[in-house]
């Protein structure tokens, strides 16, 4: 109930309104309305937080290998991971992680929107998983002058193509750098290349393959110098594969890592799924 003070101002509650003095002025505000979330909205909020946390761990892992990430990469990766979850039909909402969903939305995610890969290099590579869980990469022959763009500088600019492999095991909370390979795109015609990365991808993990271009000049005094130009630092995910888990892998402890496997710092997915509590999402 609101009461009137000696100055004629109301103080207290009257219906949905709250009367009070603020900075010597009479103010009235609306009483807060309690929001009751239905089960469906709780699950949606839960998965949104899980997707954001998953994308963050992927972004941090790749930031070690690629410095040309623009400010919008976070949102693009979040959107791609969310799309992957939305397309996952093999597990019930609120009980699934990235291992349960379709990874195709991650394909062709651009790390740098100022330098889309297809605008810089007109030839698309091919990536596939061999029967023994190793990765192969192929890039066809092409005309360097016709199919590859270079920055317009009064210098002789060179370009290196790099393919990076990174495996993620969210259920065991580690990621592993599977290595990279470089090749210089020089001459009038690039002859093409086919690589096989002979290290087996960890069972039960998710493998992401990234291709990037790195432009540089050769300085007589200091040698090779990366240009690091925003408009010529393209990188994109060119492959996303889910590696089946074997029976031995299923029995291993969640923290049983090899020496070359690094912890997914800040990953809360397993805790979220155990507790089913959206308040932990961030």
Q: Is residue 185 part of a domain?
A: yes
Q: Average pLDDT of the chain?
A: 84
Claim to verify: residue 227 and residue 261 sit in the same structural domain:
yes
pTM of the model: 0.79
Q: Is residue 30 part of a domain?
A: yes
Q: What does the buried/exposed string (b/e) look like for 58-80 if buried means 16 or more CB atoms within 10 Å of the residue's CB? A: bbebbeeebebbeeebeebbbeb
How far out from the chain centre does Cα 15 lie? 49
End-to-end CA distance of the chain: 39
- DSSP string for 145-189: HHHB-----SS--EEEEEEEEEEEETTTTEEEEEEEEEEE--SSE
Claim to verify: residue 19 and residue 70 sit in the same structural domain:
no
Instruction: Inform me whether the pLDDT recorded for 214 exceeds 70.
Output: yes
Claim to verify: residue 2 and residue 136 sit in the same structural domain:
no
Q: Is residue 45 part of a domain?
A: yes
Give dist(CA 179, CA 249) in Å, integer: 22
Predicted pLDDT of residue 213: 94
Predicted pLDDT of residue 94: 79
For residues 87-97, average pLDDT = 78
Claim to verify: residue 204 and residue 264 sit in the same structural domain:
yes
The predicted-structure confidence for 1-11, as pLDDT tens digits, reads as follows 566 676 666 66
Q: Is residue 194 part of a domain?
A: yes
Contact 166, 59 (CB under 8 A): no
For residues 214-236, average pLDDT = 89
Claim to verify: residue 199 and residue 64 sit in the same structural domain:
yes
Predicted pLDDT of residue 45: 85
Contact 161, 147 (CB under 8 A): no
Predicted pLDDT of residue 8: 63
Q: Is residue 63 part of a domain?
A: yes
Claim to verify: residue 28 and residue 94 sit in the same structural domain:
no
Claim to verify: residue 164 and residue 61 sit in the same structural domain:
yes
Which residues form the domain of 232? 39-274
Q: Is residue 279 part of a domain?
A: no
The predicted-structure confidence for 190-209, as pLDDT tens digits, reads as follows 999 999 998 889 999 999 99
Q: Is residue 143 part of a domain?
A: yes
Structure tokens at 162: 């790099």
Q: How confident is the model at residue 241 (pLDDT cuts 50, 70, 90)?
A: very high
Claim to verify: residue 13 and residue 43 sit in the same structural domain:
no
Predicted pLDDT of residue 188: 92
**The length of the chain, given as a count of residues:** 282
Claim to verify: residue 49 and residue 163 sit in the same structural domain:
yes
Sign of torsion over alpha carbons 70, 74, 78, 84: positive
Q: How confident is the model at residue 248 (pLDDT cuts 50, 70, 90)?
A: low
Claim to verify: residue 43 and residue 21 sit in the same structural domain:
no
Q: Higher confidence at residue 257 or residue 107?
A: 107
Give dist(CA 253, CA 255) in Å, integer: 5
Total domain count, the chain: 2
Claim to verify: residue 217 and residue 101 sit in the same structural domain:
yes
Q: Higher confidence at residue 253 or residue 248?
A: 248
For residues 12-38, average pLDDT = 67
Q: How confident is the model at residue 224 (pLDDT cuts 50, 70, 90)?
A: confident
Claim to verify: residue 120 and residue 244 sit in the same structural domain:
yes
What is the CA angle 220-226-229, rounded to 5?
130
Instruction: Inform me whether the pLDDT recorded for 116 exceeds 90.
Output: yes
Structure tokens at 193: 């290349």
Q: Higher confidence at residue 220 or residue 126?
A: 126
Q: Which of 62-66, 257-261, 270-274 has the highest mean pLDDT?
A: 270-274
Structure tokens at 205: 């993990």
């Amino acid at each position: 109930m609101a009461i009137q003070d000696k100055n004629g101002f109301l103080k207290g509650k009257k219906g949905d309104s709250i009367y009070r003095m603020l900075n010597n002025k009479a103010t009235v505000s609306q009483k807060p309305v309690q929001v009751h979330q239905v089960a469906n909205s709780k699950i949606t909020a839960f998965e949104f937080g899980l997707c954001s946390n998953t994308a963050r761990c992927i972004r941090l892992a790749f930031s070690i290998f690629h410095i040309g990430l623009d400010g919008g990469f976070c949102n693009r990766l979040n959107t791609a991971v969310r799309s992957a979850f939305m397309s996952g039909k093999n597990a019930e909402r609120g009980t699934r992680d990235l291992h349960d969903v379709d990874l195709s939305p991650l394909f062709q995610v651009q790390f740098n929107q100022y330098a889309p890969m297809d605008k810089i290099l007109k030839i698309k590579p091919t990536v596939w998983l061999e029967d023994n869980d190793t990765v192969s990469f192929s890039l066809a022959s092409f005309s360097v002058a016709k199919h590859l763009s270079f920055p317009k500088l009064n210098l002789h600019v060179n370009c290196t193509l790099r393919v990076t492999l990174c495996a993620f095991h969210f259920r065991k909370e580690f990621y592993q750098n599977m290595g990279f390979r470089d090749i210089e795109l020089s001459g009038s015609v690039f002859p093409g290349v086919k690589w096989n990365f002979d290290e087996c991808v960890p069972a039960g993990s998710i493998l992401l393959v990234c291709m990037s271009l790195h432009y540089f000049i050769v300085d007589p005094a200091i040698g090779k110098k990366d240009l690091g130009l925003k408009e010529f630092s393209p990188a994109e995910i060119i492959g996303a594969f889910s590696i089946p888990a074997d029976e031995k892998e299923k029995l291993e402890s969640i923290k049983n890592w090899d020496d070359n496997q690094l912890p997914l710092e800040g990953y809360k997915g397993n805790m979220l799924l155990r507790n089913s509590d959206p308040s932990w999402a961030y």
